[in-house]
Homo-oligomer: A and B are copies of this chain.
Amino acid sequence: MKIALAQLNYRIGDIEVNTAKILAEIEKAKEQNVDIVIFSELAVCGYPPKDLLDYPSFIERCETALQLICEATENVAVLVGGPAWSKLTKGKKLYNSAYFYADQKLVRRIDKTLLPTYDIFDEYRYFQPNEVFECVEYKGEKIAITICEDLWNLDDEKLYKVTPMDELIAQKPSVMINLSGSPYSYNHVEKRRTRMQLNAKTYGLPLFYVNQVGGNTDILFDGGSMFINRMGEIVEECEFYKEDFKVIKWDSDHIYEDNHQDYYDYDIGLIHDALVMGVRDYFGKVGFSKAVLGSSGGIDSAVVHAIAAEALGADNVKAITMPSRYSSTGSVVDAHKLAKNLGSPFSTIPIKEVFDSFNRTLAPEFEGTQPNVTEENLQARSRGIILMAYSNKFGNMVLNTSNKSESAVGYSTLYGDMCGGLSVIGDLYKEQVYELARFINRYGEVIPYEIINKEPSAELRPDQKDSDSLPPYPVLDKILFHYIEEKKGWKEIVAMDEEGLTEDIVRKIVRMVDRNEYKRFQASPTLRISHKAFGTGRRMPIVARYNH
């Protein structure tokens, strides 16, 4: 038997285009005499479709698409994800389903049982869980088909009461197939491999696993579809961050040898590729080809510039440096050198005149007051406005250059450096930004070494350094990671008794994170690479008073 893994990049809601892509893969499968070609979860509409699922007309168009796919299954079987009406009088109106078509007929529809409703997932918002378990028989094989989360309930502490494979295994299947929509976060690749290998070993069955690929706004799908043999060895693995189509010869009597392709699993390299894909897909899918960013001569904008240049082409990334009276000469020189290294267009637009005119305009109102953070914010906001004006005039999307450490503690100006259509490194802590810069320079200088080696500064007042207001980044990032990713309260963090983690500092940082929820609420979409990014996946009440 020949089984194909079809790993595609879908556009959410673009049902007709998704369907055309699916049909093209089906034709390819036929040409190669494939028996079953497998697509990912909710492939016809793209994942996650969110509240588009509330529109009855949306579901109807998915049904039309599925009908077209069904009609294309002459001499091939197809397994494809799509929504289905529940037809029950009780419960949610939809199922998240996998359609098994062969010989232009629906052989069976399999509905998803386990509906993740945590972090970025909201499936219980839309779908009714399946309660019926039956394998599909096809060409002498008995196939246990599940959808994504259905294979994830293997922990000692189970999140769900039912484990679909525990039900299906009673029917003695010969193979497992799983249709997924499993997003990337930086330690998730290994987690997913390990979990799927565990499934193969637990049930003693080979597993065909198909994921989608591509960035959908903030959520990045990395692909990595795979075939795992019954001993839990990864026999075939699809590309990461690319569409792929892999045909696997397999029958239930035969166990393949391991020829698992070598893919670098150096974290920062995967993060790099994820961000490049995320930028490229966001621009492509919202219809932009050019970017503009404020290039300060600091590490954050440098890394964003390099990533954007790789994703969009360097000449499509306009860099503007906007010096003020507090900017060092070095900053402008370094930003310019970076643009030259990359080959990007570059301009210098000083903000002095605009800043002075704000001060003059506000002088009558501000009479008798002292300069404070107001004037620092005015500089950041003048820059934001200049970038937005450039964007309006020439159609370049503004890239936001904030990192996760800054947005965690609110070391940023709303409507100033928080401007932008997309935050590229907003899910990377400052230390990870440095690591990424070194990775970008792995074959030689792209980001000027001066930028990597200078001390971080917002340059909003004379001789300002980030370390005036914040602990050193290695300490800050550690506290943030324990608080945000690990969900430890300040007492637990202090109790770890690690260097720099004094009660004063930890409490101060935790309080800063809490108090800046209101700023993050208005942040741009952020490419998600960790398992706990700000945004969709971390929902804190703004008005809360709670002392962690």
Contact = CB atoms under 8 A, between A and B. Distances in A.
A289 to B, nearest CB: 15
B12 A156 contact: no
A518 B12 CA distance: 15
Interface string A1-32: 00000000001111101000000000000000
Nearest to A92: B159
A125 to B, nearest CB: 5
A134 to B, nearest CB: 20
A370 to B, nearest CB: 9
Contact of A388 (B217, B361, B377, B521): B377
A545 interface: yes
A378 B525 CA distance: 23
Interface string A357-390: 1101110111001001110011001101110111
B50 A539 contact: yes
A546 B14 contact: yes
A271 interface: no
Interface in A187-233: 215-217
A524 interface: yes
Interface string A507-548: 000000000001001111100000000000011111111101
Chain A interface category by residue count: 35 or more
A55 interface: yes
Most buried by B among A156, A525, A545: A545
Contacts of A281: 543
A528 B56 CA distance: 25
A487 interface: yes
B365 A347 contact: yes
A254 interface: no
Interface stretch (A74-82, A242-250, A413-421): A413-421
Interface stretch (A96-104, A258-266, A348-356): A348-356
A251 B50 CA distance: 48
Given A90-B160, A216-B541, A349-B364, 9 more contacts: A52-B546, A286-B542, A347-B365, A350-B361, A354-B354, A362-B393, A365-B390, A377-B392, A522-B523
Interface of A: 11-15, 17, 46, 48-52, 54-58, 89-92, 115, 117-118, 122, 124-125, 156-161, 215-217, 281-282, 285-286, 347, 349-351, 353-354, 356-358, 360-362, 364-366, 369, 372-374, 377-378, 381-382, 384-386, 388-390, 392-393, 414-415, 419, 421, 487, 489, 491-492, 518, 521-525, 538-546, 548
13 contacts: A11-B544, A13-B546, A50-B540, A55-B489, A57-B491, A58-B546, A90-B159, A90-B161, A349-B361, A354-B358, A356-B357, A421-B518, A518-B525
